């Protein structure tokens, strides 16, 4: 359990593939959302190409905070 966040590490999504599958989107879309829209992804080591982890609860909160897109 991560004492700082009260989350268990085993709940973490541990790759771009897992994160994208959770979002029901492609890997490149998930990566773009991290870069452009602030998708909550953590990098245990510094650098753009380091491994990533994300927590489903944080992703759900992020999704709820995003404005709904209105198609015209």
DSSP class per residue in 5-19: TTB-GGGSB-SHHHH
End-to-end CA distance of the chain: 45
Question: Chain centroid to CA 16: how far?
Answer: 8
Residue 3: per-residue pLDDT: 44
Residue 1 scores a pLDDT above 50: no
The answer to whether 23 and 40 have CB atoms below 8 angstroms apart is no
- pLDDT tens digits for 16-62? 999 999 999 999 999 999 999 999 999 988 877 789 999 999 999 99
Burial of 5 (0-12, 13-18, 19+ CB in 10 A): exposed
Residue 63 scores a pLDDT above 90: yes
Residue 52: per-residue pLDDT: 94
Q: Does the predicted model carry a pTM greater than 0.85?
A: no
């Amino acid at each position: 359990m991560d004492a700082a966040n009260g989350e268990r590490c085993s709940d973490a999504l541990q790759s771009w593939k897992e994160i994208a599958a959770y979002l029901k989107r492609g890997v490149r879309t998930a990566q773009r959302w991290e870069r452009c829209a602030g998708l909550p992804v953590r990098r245990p080591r510094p650098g753009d190409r380091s491994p990533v982890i994300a927590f489903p609860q944080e992703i759900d909160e992020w999704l709820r905070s995003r404005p709904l897109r209105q198609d015209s």
